[in-house]
Structures are given as structure tokens and as C-alpha cells.
Amino acid sequence: MTEQSPAPHEVASKRLVDQLLSAHIVEKHQENKRLYRRRLVFGGLVFTSISGLIGLMVLTLFTSGFTIAKIVMLLAFLVTLPWLVIGFWHAVIGLLLLRFSHDPTRKVYALNSPDYFDHEKPLKNKQTALLSCIRNEDSLQVAAKLEAMLQDLKRGNKLGGFSLYVLSDSDTTEHITQEIREFSLLRGRWQNQIDVFYRRRELNTGYKAGNIADFCRNWGAHHDYAVTLDADSFLSAKALCDLVSKMNASPRLGILQTLVLGLSTSSFFTRVFQWGMRLGMRSFTLGAAWWQGPSGPYWGHNAIFRIKPFIQYCMHDPLPGSGALSGPVLSHDQVEAALMVSAGYEVRVWPVEGGSYEENPPHLIEFIRRDLRWCHGNLQYLKLLRAPGFKMLGRIQLTLAILMFIGSPAWLIFIATAMYLTSTAAPGTSSFDPFYGTLLILILMSMVFAPKLVTLAHVLTVPKETREYGGGLLISVSALLELVFSMLLAPVMAIAHSIFIVQLFAGKKTKWDGQARQPTGIPVLLSIKKFWPQTVFGLCGIAWMTSFSFSETWLLLPVIIGPLLAVPFAMITSKPAPGLYFKHSGLWALPEEKKAPLELLELDKEHRKIEIGLTKEDKAAAIR
């Protein structure tokens, strides 16, 4: 019996598949070669820069001889260098992409996926789960953001592609009662259009990572993808559908992170902080994506992940032991990204502004509290550096995350040692070479502010962007005042990080709780209680300066003034009235405030609605 030959159309189909597969293999090989060259160039730039800065520091310190104190200064300086140098080159590469590339995004992420935000192209039914992870939050505010997101999806006829899960870890009666009420109302309004689930865990095992793991175990099999949302997250329908379309187009894409922008705010502190962050973020992210490629960052929210490989490879166990670095990993996101990459999947950032938003902390106390939780989580990576399951680049990324916070005490040790050497130097002599020291400081300051300065230069030289940010004069004034703000804030944060690290290793326990998100003034007694260590540091610095001429100590003035003014700085920047004034003045204006997209107008409408209470129609719909 002779074997039947395949039909001509089957042969043609097989040839087409083989051609596409061959083309994909060739394209992937070319991408790997391109990525290898980029990493070689980037590594060379970083290594050369660090070597040059170390050489300048050696010339500054040791021209007058070697001492133990100077060796301590050099070692502390080495700890602060990697983040500084890498951030500088991210900014430079990002600026080059912005200025000389027709499409900077395609230079770092060339995935060409179809646009699923099309009324004629329905999404796969319930393909993607929206995960709103909350703990002791203001449920009214959370519900308003979720309501606005659902309204935007409804306008685009895309509700059918999603399900919404509100995953609570709240443990106070007040918050639990409020959650049950608000999310029951939300479910009642949308029950015939989209699945809305509310689940509260009795035990907060594993914190947010445990919350998401619980979802994966119980509901993960019902969906292909999950979008992670914090309590302050908002994503437009366009952004959500773009995330899904890119996952559909690339089966090896494990996690796709959006560029998260700050929402418009009346908080004085937040307006200045997120304006500066917005300037530095675009060039920094483009530069990082240029060489990291498919081994990019994951920030734990406003991102989408592929559920099946996430369950298989990224469900990490708590760290063993009983010390400060043991237990559930607080900064779980970068660990999950590294594990996903090690499993052969891609983790990428989509460096496009618009559609993905968050609320930043409203005042300095809340800002520090959030930062210290990141600090604790990043220090836990010390236990993972030699653990199996990570590629080399993943270990480097974990190391850099550790150095981001270890750099704070190292910087303070460097400053304190320099002050000690100056105090103990013989009259008429100097412990440091003035020429090389001045040159080094100028270079370092340029590198510190490079991410913001390069994007500022881009904005001021592109007329469309200049108009979106309020005009050249307002941008220049905003940039100058933000520079002063950053210089005051940096030493305050460094002292807070350093005290926290010492307390952490001394056995102090940390607590994860809900965050304050609305601008409210900080009382004077609370400000003194929180920032007395910074104030004492500033007073000691002023006392030290009085023993020398101003020409000998002026370079340390920003380091001393910030902590000295920490109490009034925290109080003034926390008050709502100045924030409202500056919002109307146009200072630190974001492009969205000039011409708000439709989805942000919808979000603003939902926030105003909750301020006056739910309507009778809303309550009736929930009851029905």
C-alpha cells in the first residue's frame, strides 16, 4: 500500500512555516549579536568611567600621603560609584536616542505587534486578569480608579477581554468594612458586563508576592495574563490593550513593564518630586533598555505577566533564617524578573509615556516610609546573590539594587571622614589636593544631575514638548527650583536610609501597612519627632563650619543645609495650600495637566463623585 503524497496546499503551508521560522531564527541571531555589542560598549564605558574617577580620587586623597582614614574614604567612594556611573551613561545614551533616532522606542524594543485597540477586533474572552492588590487602603479612592478604568474599557468595547480581582490583605475592621461596601457597589454596577471578584486573605503571608501567588493558585488557570495594579495605579484602556497585544504577538515575552507616570496632584512635595523624576525617567529608561534588552526591569505594578511561566518559575519561597534579611522578599519584583529571564522568557520595559499612572507619596514622611520598605527588600538580595537559578546579568541587577541603598551610609561615611581629616590637618595644610578635588566634584555633580539635565535640554529644544510643559520660562524656573529641592532632599534621605539600615541589622522589625495618599499638613511635633536626627546632623555640620573659613567648607554646604532644614522643609512641602497655588501657577506642570487625555478626565470625574457621595442610582444598581 503506497503512502499518499501531501496535498499541494499542505506543502506550500509547510514551506511558509519553515520560511517564517528560519527568518525568526536569523532575526533572533542578529538581535543577540546587536545586544552583545551594545553590552560590550556599555560595559566598556562604565568600566572606563569608574577607573577614571578612582584615579582622580587617588590623586585627590593620596598626594599628601596614605592614612587609614583616606583608605576608608576611597572604599566608601567605590560603593557609591556604580549607580552614579550607570545612571550617567543611561542618560547620555537615552539623549542620543531621543535626538538622533526617528523612533527611539523601536531602537530598544522592535516588537511590531498589531493594535488591538480597535473596535472591530475583539479580545479573547477573559484572557487577562486585572489584579488590584490592597492593604488597609482608602477603598473609595481605589474604587474610583478601578471605576474609571472599567469605563475606559467600556468605551473601547474591550471589557470582554478582562476580569477584575480586588485582592485584599487588610487586617483592620474599619478598612475591611469599607472594602466590603465599596467593592460590593462596584461589582453591582458592573456585574452584567465584566467579572468583578473581591477576596480578602485572613493571613498576610508573603505580603504582596504572597497575595499574587494566592491568585495564581486559585484563579491563574482561567487566564493567560495578569496585570498588576497597586492601590494608586491607573492604566488607560489603550495601555491595557497594548500590553495584551504585545504579549499575544510574542510568546516568549514573560513580563512587560510600562513606564509609570505620576498623576496630577495638588501636593507641593509630590509636584516637585515627580516633575523631576519625569524629566530623568525617559532618557534613563531608554538608555537602560538599549543594553538590557530582554533582561529588563519589573517594578511590580502597572505591568503584565504571562501566568503559566510565572507560576512555574517565579513563585519564590521565603528566605530562610530568622534575621533581618529573612522571611518573604519585600522587593519581590526584580527577583521575579531575574527568574523569568533565567527560565528563557523575556522581561522588557515599554518606554513610552502615556496611559500608565500612579500616585506618588504626598509628603516627606510617607515618601521615606515607602523608600525604607524598598531598602529592606533590596538588602534581602544579599541572601540571593549566590542562590541557584539566576543568570549573571540577573545577579548584577540584584547587586546594583543593593548598592542603591548601601550607597547612602557609604556617602555619609565619606563626608564624615572628610570632615574629620580637615579638622585634624595641621594649620596651613590640606589633606586633599585642591585642583584634583575641585575637578572631581565638578565631574561628579554633572553626572548626578545628568538624567534630568539631558531630558531638560531635549524638552527645551523641541517646540512641541516645550509647549506641553508650559513654556520655556516656566520650565527653566521649575528646573532651577527642583534642583534646590533635590539638593535639600538628598542628604535627608541618606541619613534616613543609614539609620534604618543600622536599626534593621540591630533587630528592628518593619511593618507593611496602607499608605497615606492624600496631601495633609505634617504637624510640627510629628516633624520634629521624625527628623530630629537630620537636624542634629545639620547643627553639628554648622558647628564644624565655624572652625574654618567659608572658602574651605562651602562645598559641603548643601550636605549640611538640607538636614538642618529638614523639619521646616517637611512641614512646608506637606501643606495642601502651596501645592494648589503652584498647580494653578503652572510651575512643575506635567503635559497631562495642559491637555488631559479622556481616560484621565474620567478618573478625575470618579474622584469628584466620591467626594460628594454615591448617587441613589449607584446604590440602586448595586442592590439590583
DSSP 8-state secondary structure symbol assigned to residue 305 = E
Contacts of 529 (CB under 8 A, 6+ apart): none
Q: Is the dihedral of CA 91, 95, 96, 101 positive or negative?
A: positive
The residue among 198 and 579 whose pLDDT is bigger is 198
The C-alpha cell at 429 is 595644610
The C-alpha cell at 40 is 560590550
**Residue 2 scores a pLDDT above 80:** no
What pLDDT score was predicted for residue 575? Answer: 87
The C-alpha cell at 268 is 507641593
What pLDDT score was predicted for residue 620? Answer: 42
What pLDDT score was predicted for residue 588? Answer: 92
What pLDDT score was predicted for residue 593? Answer: 82
What's phi and psi for 230, nearest 5 deg? -85, 175
What pLDDT score was predicted for residue 23? Answer: 47
CA angle 120, 121, 122 (to 5 degrees): 115
Inter-residue contact 498 to 412 (CB < 8 Å): yes
3 falls in which pLDDT band (50, 70, 90)? low
Strands across the sheet with 346-350, in order?
196-200, 162-168, 128-134, 225-229, 303-306, 253-258, 346-350
Q: Tell me the average pLDDT across 499-523.
A: 80
Q: Which residue has the cell 495642601?
A: 576
Inter-residue contact 345 to 252 (CB < 8 Å): yes
611 falls in which pLDDT band (50, 70, 90)? very low
Q: How far apart are CA 88 and CA 85, in angstroms?
A: 5
Mean pLDDT is lowest, of 292-296, 516-520, 619-623, for 619-623
Q: 169-191: string of b/e by CB count within 10 Å (b at 16+)?
A: bbbeeebeebbeebbebbbbbbe
Inter-residue contact 351 to 108 (CB < 8 Å): yes
- The share of the chain scoring above pLDDT 90, in percent, equals 61
The residue among 381 and 507 whose pLDDT is bigger is 381
CA angle 590, 592, 598 (to 5 degrees): 170
What is the rounded average pLDDT for all residues in the chain?
Answer: 87
228 falls in which pLDDT band (50, 70, 90)? very high
The C-alpha cell at 34 is 546587536
What pLDDT score was predicted for residue 529? Answer: 95
DSSP 3-state of 235: strand
Q: Tell me the average pLDDT across 198-227.
A: 94
**Residue 393 scores a pLDDT above 60:** yes
**Residue 612 scores a pLDDT above 80:** no
Q: Per DSSP, what are the bridge partners of residue 196?
A: 164
Mean pLDDT is lowest, of 17-31, 287-301, 451-465, 540-554, for 17-31
Contacts of 25 (CB under 8 A, 6+ apart): none
How many Cα atoms within 13 Å fall on the side-chain side of residue 174?
A: 5
What pLDDT score was predicted for residue 65? Answer: 78
SS (H, E, C) 154-196: HHCCCHHHEEEEEEECCCCHHHHHHHHHHHHHHHHHHCCCCCE
DSSP 3-state of 198: strand
Q: Which residue has the cell 467600556?
A: 154
11 falls in which pLDDT band (50, 70, 90)? low
The pTM of this model reads 0.88
User: Shortest CA distance to 280 belongs to which of 143, 514, 92, 145?
Assistant: 92
Q: Tell me the average pLDDT across 258-283.
A: 90
Q: Tell me the average pLDDT across 232-261.
A: 94
What pLDDT score was predicted for residue 292? Answer: 93
Residue range 542-588, pLDDT digits in tens: 999 888 878 777 878 889 999 999 999 999 999 888 888 888 888 99
The residue among 521 and 36 whose pLDDT is bigger is 36
**Residue 277 scores a pLDDT above 50:** yes
Q: Tell me the average pLDDT across 376-394.
A: 92
CA angle 125, 127, 130 (to 5 degrees): 115
Q: How far apart are CA 554 and CA 611, in angstroms?
A: 49
5 falls in which pLDDT band (50, 70, 90)? low
What pLDDT score was predicted for residue 624? Answer: 36
Give the other-Cβ count within 10 Å of 65's Cβ: 8
- The share of the chain scoring above pLDDT 70, in percent, equals 87
What pLDDT score was predicted for residue 66? Answer: 85
Residue range 116-146, pLDDT digits in tens: 445 456 678 889 999 999 999 999 999 999 9
Q: How far apart are CA 452 and CA 273, in angstroms?
A: 12
Q: How far apart are CA 33 and CA 285, in angstroms?
A: 21
622 falls in which pLDDT band (50, 70, 90)? very low
**Residue 510 scores a pLDDT above 50:** yes
Q: Which residue has the cell 572658602?
A: 551
Domains and CATH numbers, the chain: 115-402+600-623 (3.90.550.10)
Residue range 401-428, pLDDT digits in tens: 999 999 999 999 999 998 888 888 777 6
Inter-residue contact 160 to 122 (CB < 8 Å): yes
DSSP 8-state secondary structure symbol assigned to residue 221 = G
The C-alpha cell at 230 is 497597586
Inter-residue contact 233 to 145 (CB < 8 Å): yes
- Single-letter code of the amino acid located at 349: V
Q: Helix, strand, coil: what percent of the chain each, to 5?
A: 65, 10, 25
Q: Tell me the average pLDDT across 200-215.
A: 92
Q: How far apart are CA 79 and CA 200, in angstroms?
A: 42
Inter-residue contact 131 to 227 (CB < 8 Å): yes
252 falls in which pLDDT band (50, 70, 90)? very high
What pLDDT score was predicted for residue 27? Answer: 57
Residue range 422-459, pLDDT digits in tens: 888 777 677 888 889 889 989 998 999 888 888 898 89
Q: 263-297: string of b/e by CB count within 10 Å (b at 16+)?
A: bbbbbbbbbbbbbbbbbbbbbbbbbbbbbbbbbbb
Residue range 53-83, pLDDT digits in tens: 999 999 999 877 788 999 999 999 999 999 9
What pLDDT score was predicted for residue 7? Answer: 62
Q: Based on the number of CB atoms within 10 Å of its own CB, is 343 exposed (0-12), middle (13-18) or buried (19 or more)?
A: middle
